[in-house]
Chain A
Amino acid sequence: AQRVTQPEKLLSVFKGAPVELKCNYSYSGSPELFWYVQYSRQRLQLLLRHISRESIKGFTADLNKGETSFHLKKPFAQEEDSAMYYCALVRSGYSTLTFGKGTMLLVSP
């Protein structure tokens, strides 16, 4: 069965510091990987997906199949980045999301 692991429940950084939210997955096929974000009192929304290879709000994520990782990175954190971040996987041929347990990012001034 597929599994997504986010080892950090909470990541606390200062404004302007680099951020890396870790995500590892286990799946024998070729997955599609996503990062979803939930800001305070807002609904869960897509941040980025690996196939797009784009940068959203300064965040990037690279799929490393060798290490089965999809870490989310930003070089300079902003206070408005404070939110709950979920890494998620879709199995090949399916559309349902398997989520990690999430990492709360707190960016302090």
Chain B
Amino acid sequence: GAGVSQSPSNKVTEKGKDVELRCDPISGHTALYWYRQSLGQGLEFLIYFQGNSAPDKSGLPSDRFSAERTGGSVSTLTIQRTQQEDSAVYLCASSSPGTGSYEQYFGPGTRLTVT
């Protein structure tokens, strides 16, 4: 079946603009995760959704970052007033913990460049 998809694949924006990144998880996966991959920092956890609620937002770096998930499916990560340090690849992953498997399936990522 279809894997995790993310859009756009690339986004170039000017400093100070808002951006929205979208994630479509694997159908039926109740858990959804956002990570950020940047040079020197590796992979950092941002936020975790179980269904539509976010029990763990501890990785969001500032209040400019927010995320929502609707219908237990699609999630949107919003970055307001983007800064150059926000440039990174944003990865989404989903999993189905109810099956006893904690394997996370990753999307291809959105490469964000803030100029």
Residues of chain A whose beta carbon lies under 8 Å from any beta carbon of chain B: 32, 43-46, 49, 86, 88, 90, 94-102
Check if B95 is an interface residue, CB within 8 A of chain A: yes
B102, A99: Cβ atoms under 8 Å? no
CB neighbours (8 Å) of B106 from chain A are 43-45
CB neighbours (8 Å) of B108 from chain A are 43
Check if B65 is an interface residue, CB within 8 A of chain A: no
Shortest Cβ-Cβ A-B pairs, 7 listed: A101-B42, A99-B43, A44-B106, A43-B106, A43-B108, A96-B48, A46-B103
Residues of chain B whose beta carbon lies under 8 Å from any beta carbon of chain A: 3, 31, 33, 35, 40-45, 48, 56, 59, 91, 93, 95, 97, 102-109
B79 CB → nearest A CB, Å: 20
A46 to B3 CA separation, bound complex (whole angstroms) = 14
A43, B102: Cβ atoms under 8 Å? no
B102 CB → nearest A CB, Å: 6
A52 CB → nearest B CB, Å: 10
A84 CB → nearest B CB, Å: 10
Q: 30 A–B contact pairs at CB < 8 A?
A: A32-B102, A43-B106, A43-B107, A43-B108, A44-B93, A44-B106, A45-B105, A45-B106, A49-B103, A86-B42, A88-B43, A90-B102, A94-B56, A95-B31, A95-B102, A96-B33, A96-B45, A96-B48, A96-B59, A97-B35, A97-B104, A98-B45, A99-B35, A99-B43, A99-B44, A100-B42, A101-B40, A101-B41, A101-B42, A102-B42
A47 to B52 CA separation, bound complex (whole angstroms) = 29
B28 CB → nearest A CB, Å: 16
